[in-house]
Amino acid sequence: MDLFSNIGKVAVITGGGSGIGKLMAETLAESGAKVVLLGRTLEKVRDAAEEIHYKTNTDATAYSCDVTNNEQIQDVLAQINDEYGSIDILVNNAGTTVRGNIEDLDESGWDKVMDTNVKSVFFMSQAALPYMKKQGYGRIINTASVAGDVSLFFSSVYGTSKAGVIHLTKQLAGELASYNITVNAISPWFFETEFNKKSLEDKDFKEMVENRTPMKRVGSLDELKTSILYLAASGSSYVTGQNIFIDGGMTSFGL
């Protein structure tokens, strides 16, 4: 369907080397977009880009970028725009966590999580804005989390960072709407990713997650695809400032 086609669009995905970021890149490539994967480790994002290229027969490339470094962000987006001529879709997916309650965390852990999860979203969006404004079109998708909306016992800094992403999504949506740039977020619960692998290998922890979820299971990555595609495509042109929970009913579940 043309409303969900991204043929001719250029999509930049941070944290695209694995997990949800890689899935987002693959989904956008399947819809026709040229995808550019960003990550600290060039080899990792390059391998992911090659895999996506061979799987989708779409242009997929990779650049090394520390998304907590504003100078690197500015440089890499300028390179991408020079090579492709536009930046149409920006997916701010790079993320990290340091688990623990307030008594367990130090300043370095706080800074690491806030820089990767919030600072990067702000400065990646800021750097992409001139290119999107010039072309009168843009889609920004941020990866938040259910932890940004509800309290989880191990997420005092992670949840705070994702709450920041959700609010920043709303703030930027209002600021950028007049330029035909939409800004939205997705908030996943537990999915089978490299990020969550260690936690889900703990049988008691996985059982706790499943019991807290009305659907009684964790999500599979394919169940994220339609939300990503919807928010990236022209068909969602009147949707901005929204946060989609993809959580098996977790955030709507009481006692």
Catalytic machinery residues: 158
- Is the C-alpha dihedral spanning 15, 16, 22, 28 positive or negative? positive
DSSP characters over 185-235: EEEE--BSSTTTHHHHTSHHHHHHHHHHSTTSSPBPGGGGHHHHHHHHSGG
**What 3-state class would DSSP assign to 91?**
strand
Q: What is the Cα 79 distance to its own chain's centre? A: 21
C-alpha span between 174 and 76 (Å, rounded): 26
Measuring CA to CA, which residue among 183, 177, 181, 175 is closest to residue 144? Answer: 183
CA distance 150 to 216: 18
Are the C-beta atoms of residues 239 and 35 closer than 8 Å to each other? no
Other C-beta atoms closer than 10 Å to the C-beta of 102 total 8
